[in-house]
Amino acid sequence: MTVPLRLTIGERELDSGLTLQAVQNPGVQTYACVVSLDIRPGDEPADRGGLANLVGETLDEGTERHDALELATAVESLGAMIDANHRGGVVMAPAVAAKAATALLHELVLEPVFPGREVRRVQAEVLTEIKAEEDDPRSVAARRFRKEVYGEHPLGRPTAGTAKSVGRLRPKDLRAFHDDWFRPAGGFVACAGPEDPERQLDRLEKAFRGFRGKAPKHAPTPDVDLGPAGRDAHLPMPREQVHVFLGHVGIRRTHPDFYVLSVMDHVLGTGPGFTSRCARKLRDEQGLCYSVSAGITASAGEEPGMFTAYIGTSPEHRQRAIDGFLDEIRRIRSEPVSAQELQDVKDYLTGSFVFALERNSNLAAYTIRARRFGLGFDYIQRYPELIRAITAEQVREAAERHLQPDRLVVISAGAS
Amino acid sequence: MSDMTMLPDVEVVELENGFKALLVERGPLPVVASMLWYRVGSRDERTGETGVSHFLEHMMFKGTERFAKGQIDLQTSKMGGSNNAFTDNDSTAYYFTMASDRWETALEIEASRMRDCLLDPHEFASEKNVVLEELAMGEDDPWRPLYQATESLLYQVHPYHHPVIGYRQDLERLSAQQMRDYYHRNYGPNRAFLVVVGNIDRARTAERIRELFGPLPRVEDRREPLTEPAPQGERRAVLRTPHSVTRLCFGFPTCRMGERDDYALDVLAHDLGNSKNSRLYRRLVLKDELVTDVHVMNETRQDPGALFLMCELRDGVEPAKVEAIVREEIRAQVQEGVAKKDLARILTQIRSSFLFQDEAVLDMAMKLGRFEAGTPGGFRTLGSVLATYDSLTSAELRTVAAKFFDFDRIAVVWGLPAASKDGDKPGARRKAGKTSRRPEVQKREAAPKRSKKAKAHPPVAKKKPTEKSRKKARKGGKRA
């Protein structure tokens, strides 16, 4: 399919190093704005696990100008939604409220005061969430899997921290993290709405031109190596199902094999419906599960992601499911995918990627990705050709390079 | 906001066999969403065949006379699209999103599986295992057993009593022939309608619909609406769970979807618990710091529905204290209604929630489908929906609150950690109503994350399908 897509995008870089982006989305009556700053996993001190997460959770608990309820009232009165996170946040609002919504997002991200009482309350909520996750076998398995794959790398720590590390955090830790890392250099503010990009950029510039500060010095992020072979653990919990994670360290989004591997993923374990080999075999043919997947590209980002195969199944099927994954991993490394499989996946990828451009928040995220990963704004025009050019042998070679069946971590939790 | 309409330009195609299609042409992206809704859900199931609607939803992807097993997914994939389906109490919907230059295969698939689904016995046996795994997954969820127990207390006679996914014993016993009978009895053009939204040629689409769906024969009409007898007293249950967090679910019987009271209940639900400014959030989360999250869902349905209220308690908090405050705040709402400034803010959020649903073709198709399936006025109700909300007064809201928030008709279910020794009688009081006969639940799965909705999200009710949290607590709906 020839995609008649020409997004109208504008961009400005401010002296502070902050990049502003705007996309015109004609015909909608809504608006979205995303702030994503250059804050990295290694910026969180190793002994303050969960600090970045708690900062994100408490950005909307009070600013220099408004307390938490006043902020919520202001947001709700616009008919807006704001979600804050440890790198900034996103606001979605009716287009007529774009200016006020942008100002609120700015205030919440850049002027938080982390009031003691509110921080303690949210901290208690996060601790309850951690507790709930500790009796959720899927979360337990995922957390342990992540730790085994990443080892001492910052990504090996649970995002929300542990009960112990979160319990130790104080408002001054949050303020220090915010002061140190919420800086404009290397960051993005992107928006999408019905107005032309220049007008939207003017609004962003007016809101964010006062955002200044020296570029932070990030500690270099350590490399992640494949761990030793033969790591296989089961964490018994009294449940109906067992949740199995299997995999190892993956790739960054900028890896040149990314596109070939995205084709591989769809053949192996992420294709739509039950078109992938793992879904066809383990769910459709053997009826082992409701939920199954396997892939390496979905988690590829600024840091290396993971190759992850997942299945939730009955305990008596655990080994059969693991063997099924192993068979498919070995097969895709050793045999070129069939011409039909390859064509089917290409048809899907070249036809479906346009759906990622449907919503304002997706458009804003797209422009940030286009710059952050060096894809360029013409990426949507180039993408179909990148996919069409991939051969079956390239898929096999990439699978052989990136999937290591002898170095897999296998972690399960739940019924035994 | 009453000058705004949420009704897009819809072309209606009606066939002699009772089939109806709603077509909306919109660009500029080259995408299309197609949704086929059946007026068939768990409400239509007979004793002993619970879960058949949802199980059949799975089987609808396992091959038809024209599309062999695997072909529906494969064709969807080649169309650059995705497909899925969901089953709820009143309806089942199948949907595709596709690139607009090849989407019409979706119509062929839908026409084929309306009457010619294979329901192959071998595939049936294999898929039954998948459905049972889905059931197990739901049983491991922390909220679903509470929600289902509340629902089963509220509905003692009406088929809303049983969970959409069905009972394990019924699913295990169900035969392919029983499913086949159910399918032939209920699935036909007069029990279905289609919604298509996107970059389409309406005339061509209408013609294709006539060709494909016109020849299909009618099936028997749906059973008349049913009504649950009014509860005689409060009903309570306690579930012992393997979770370490204590949870509470309240249920109040309410009205049918699309009735005027339904709109008032949306506003009341929001005022009670669906934003940081809501009564229960302010009191229980912010002021007293007793719970981590609170959520209220106005679940009106084709037959009278219910309003569910859910709380997740902080560690060490006495359950009776939370229940007493919930009752106190509800009584306060009945007495005071909704303050004028709060009403204005809530109505702004409702308007926004409709606007956000117009960003994506599937969301718009879902919105049209929900209104067509659930409200007496069908999709055209969207033309006046904002005006209806806008016409609500504080006095009317008080009246509606008093009408439905009656503690002598409620269901209350506590989910207590199995290890808890002091939680046998968590309620502030225990009346002589019926209690659940469900066995103790010993399973769960993913705990819901702390809900962001309490942080400033617009209210979204049953007819506004963007809300995810409600679905999290509901039935085993989705196929994948």
Q: What is the full DSSP assignment across B372-429?
A: HHHSTTGGGGGGTHHHHHHT--HHHHHHHHHHH--TTS-EEEEEEETT-SS-SS-SS-
Minimum-distance CB partner of B78 among A3, A78, A348: A348
Is residue A39 within 8 A of residue A214, CB to CB? The reply is: no
Task: Estimate the crossing angle of helix B394-404 against helix B260-273, to 10 degrees.
Answer: 90
The answer to whether the Cβ–Cβ distance between A76 and B137 falls below 8 Å is no
The whole-angstrom separation of Cα B293 and Cα A6 is 43
Cβ-count burial of A318 within 10 angstroms (0-12 exposed, 13-18 middle, 19+ buried)? Answer: buried
Minimum-distance CB partner of B127 among A132, A280, A287: A287
The whole-angstrom separation of Cα B84 and Cα B336 is 44
Residue B424 pLDDT: 41
Q: What share of chain A is helix, strand, coil (3-state, %, to 5)?
A: 50, 20, 35
Residues B47-69: pLDDT tens digits?
Answer: 999 999 999 999 999 999 999 99
Q: Which helix (H) or strand (E) holds B334?
A: helix B319-336
Check whether B449 has a pLDDT greater than 80. no
How far away is chain B from the Cα of A36, in angstroms, using its nearest Cα? 19
Residue A69 pLDDT: 94
Check whether B465 has a pLDDT greater than 70. no
The answer to whether the Cβ–Cβ distance between B443 and A240 falls below 8 Å is yes
Contacts of A272 in chain B (CB under 8 A): 73, 76-77, 81-83
The whole-angstrom separation of Cα B127 and Cα B114 is 19
The answer to whether the Cβ–Cβ distance between A348 and B80 falls below 8 Å is yes
The answer to whether the Cβ–Cβ distance between A30 and B455 falls below 8 Å is no
For chain B, the average pLDDT equals 86
How far away is chain B from the Cα of A189, in angstroms, using its nearest Cα? 21
Edge to edge, the sheet with strand A8-13 lists A8-13, A19-24, A188-193, A30-36, A88-94, A81-85
Please give the CATH number for the structural domain made up of A8-208.
Answer: 3.30.830.10
What's the half-sphere exposure (Cβ side, CA atoms, 13 Å) at B356?
Answer: 22
How far away is chain A from the Cα of B360, in angstroms, using its nearest Cα? 6
Residues B332-357: pLDDT tens digits?
Answer: 999 999 999 999 999 999 999 999 99
Residue B4 pLDDT: 66
Check whether B451 has a pLDDT greater than 90. no
Mean pLDDT of B306-326: 96
Task: Please give the distance of CA A7 from its chain centroid, rounded to a whole number.
Answer: 23
The whole-angstrom separation of Cα A147 and Cα A247 is 12
The answer to whether the Cβ–Cβ distance between A135 and B452 falls below 8 Å is no
Check whether B446 has a pLDDT greater than 70. no
Give the position of tokens 């990009």.
A197
Residues A223-276: pLDDT tens digits?
Answer: 888 888 778 999 999 888 999 999 999 999 999 999 999 999 999 999 887 889
- Residue B422 confidence class, pLDDT cut points 50, 70, 90: very low
- CA nearest to A123 within chain B: B292
- CA nearest to B449 within chain A: A129
**CATH 3.90.320.10, domain B11-213, yes or no:** no
Check whether B432 has a pLDDT greater than 70. no
Residues A187-229: pLDDT tens digits?
Answer: 999 999 999 999 999 999 999 999 999 999 998 888 888 888 7
CATH, domain A231-414, list 3.30.830.10, 3.90.650.10, 3.40.50.1820, 3.30.1490.20: 3.30.830.10
- Residue B471 confidence class, pLDDT cut points 50, 70, 90: very low
The answer to whether the Cβ–Cβ distance between B133 and A271 falls below 8 Å is no
Task: Please give the distance of CA B141 from its chain centroid, rounded to a whole number.
Answer: 17
The whole-angstrom separation of Cα B94 and Cα B108 is 13
The answer to whether the Cβ–Cβ distance between B447 and A139 falls below 8 Å is yes
Give every CB contact of residue A59 below 8 A, 6+ residues apart in sequence: A84, A89, A108, A109, A112
Check whether B310 has a pLDDT greater than 90. yes
Residues A346-390: pLDDT tens digits?
Answer: 999 998 888 888 999 999 999 999 999 999 999 989 999 999 999
Check whether B37 has a pLDDT greater than 80. yes
Cβ-count burial of B316 within 10 angstroms (0-12 exposed, 13-18 middle, 19+ buried)? Answer: exposed
**B149 is written with which tokens?**
């127990």
Residue B225 pLDDT: 67
Contacts of B345 in chain A (CB under 8 A): 73, 76-77
Do the domains B235-473 and B11-213 match in fold? yes
Q: Give SS3 for A64.
A: coil
Q: Give SS3 for A21.
A: strand
Mean pLDDT of B387-391: 96
Mean pLDDT of A144-169: 94
Minimum-distance CB partner of B348 among A77, A138, A285: A77
Residue B78 pLDDT: 85
Residue B66 backbone phi and psi in degrees, to 5: -95, -35
Tell which A residues from 139 to 198 touch B, by Cβ distance under 8 Å: 139
Minimum-distance CB partner of B80 among A68, A76, A350: A350
Residue A276 pLDDT: 94
DSSP assignment string, B164-231: TT--HHHHHH--HHHHHHHHHHH-SGGGEEEEEEES--HHHHHHHHHHHHTTPPP-PPPPPP--PPPP
Q: First and final CA of chain A: distance in angstroms? A: 49
The whole-angstrom separation of Cα B397 and Cα B394 is 5
The whole-angstrom separation of Cα B466 and Cα B461 is 9
**A279 is written with which tokens?**
């879904």
**A397 is written with which tokens?**
């070679």
Contacts of B286 in chain A (CB under 8 A): 68-69, 121
Buried b (16+ CB within 10 A) or exposed e, B41-55: bbbbbeeebbbbbbb
- Residue A84 confidence class, pLDDT cut points 50, 70, 90: very high
Domain ranges within chain A, ordered by starting residue: 8-208, 231-414
How far away is chain B from the Cα of A390, in angstroms, using its nearest Cα? 17
Residues A381-403: pLDDT tens digits?
Answer: 999 999 999 999 999 999 999 99
How far away is chain B from the Cα of A299, in angstroms, using its nearest Cα? 20
The whole-angstrom separation of Cα B10 and Cα B16 is 19
Residue B137 pLDDT: 87
Contacts of A26 in chain B (CB under 8 A): 28
Indicate which of A59, A60, A128, A139 best probes the interface with B, i.e. most B CBs within 10 Å of its own CB: A128
What's the half-sphere exposure (Cβ side, CA atoms, 13 Å) at A224?
Answer: 21
ipTM passes above 0.85: yes
Residue B377 pLDDT: 93
For chain A, the average pLDDT equals 94
User: Is some CB atom of chain B closer than 8 A to the CB atom of A26?
Assistant: yes
Is residue B401 within 8 A of residue B338, CB to CB? The reply is: no
Beta bridge partners of B298: B307
How many A×B Cβ pairs under 8 Å? 240
Check whether A25 has a pLDDT greater than 50. yes
Minimum-distance CB partner of B243 among A132, A284, A286: A132
The answer to whether the Cβ–Cβ distance between B74 and A75 falls below 8 Å is no
Mean pLDDT of B12-26: 97
Q: Which of A398, A404, A413 is nearest to A248 (CA)?
A: A404
The whole-angstrom separation of Cα A291 and Cα A142 is 15
Check whether B461 has a pLDDT greater than 90. no
Is residue A127 within 8 A of residue B315, CB to CB? The reply is: yes
Contacts of B282 in chain A (CB under 8 A): 69
Check whether B460 has a pLDDT greater than 70. no
Residue A20 pLDDT: 98
Residue B85 backbone phi and psi in degrees, to 5: -160, 160
- Residue B428 confidence class, pLDDT cut points 50, 70, 90: very low
pTM of the entire structure? 0.89
Domain ranges within chain B, ordered by starting residue: 11-213, 235-473
The whole-angstrom separation of Cα A388 and Cα A382 is 10
Check whether B400 has a pLDDT greater than 90. yes
Q: Which of B192, B135, B194 is nearest to B477 (CA)?
A: B135
Contacts of A380 in chain B (CB under 8 A): none
Contacts of B357 in chain A (CB under 8 A): none
The answer to whether the Cβ–Cβ distance between B359 and A28 falls below 8 Å is yes
- Residue B470 confidence class, pLDDT cut points 50, 70, 90: very low
* Lowest-confidence segment of B77-81, B82-86, B338-342 by average pLDDT: B77-81
Long-range contacts of B466-470 (CB under 8 A, 24+ apart): B466/B353, B466/B356, B466/B357, B466/B363, B467/B297, B469/B295, B469/B297, B470/B297, B470/B299
- Residue A147 confidence class, pLDDT cut points 50, 70, 90: very high
Task: Please give the distance of CA A98 from its chain centroid, rounded to a whole number.
Answer: 26
Residue B242 pLDDT: 87
Task: Please give the distance of CA B67 from its chain centroid, rounded to a whole number.
Answer: 30
Q: Give SS3 for A34.
A: strand
Check whether A80 has a pLDDT greater than 70. yes
How far away is chain A from the Cα of B131, in angstroms, using its nearest Cα? 7
Residue A29 pLDDT: 93
* Lowest-confidence segment of A155-169, B216-230, B277-291 by average pLDDT: B216-230
**A74 is written with which tokens?**
């202001």
Q: Which of A12, A367, A15 is nearest to A184 (CA)?
A: A15
User: Is some CB atom of chain B closer than 8 A to the CB atom of A339?
Assistant: no
Residue B446 backbone phi and psi in degrees, to 5: -65, 125
Minimum-distance CB partner of B458 among A5, A81, A240: A81
Give every CB contact of residue B181 below 8 A, 6+ residues apart in sequence: none
Residue B451 backbone phi and psi in degrees, to 5: -70, 135
Buried b (16+ CB within 10 A) or exposed e, B458-474: bbbbbbbbbbebbebbb
The whole-angstrom separation of Cα A323 and Cα A313 is 13
CATH, domain B235-473, list 1.10.3720.10, 3.40.50.300, 3.20.20.120, 3.30.830.10: 3.30.830.10
Check whether B442 has a pLDDT greater than 80. no
Q: Give SS3 for B266.
A: helix
**A60 is written with which tokens?**
């909307």
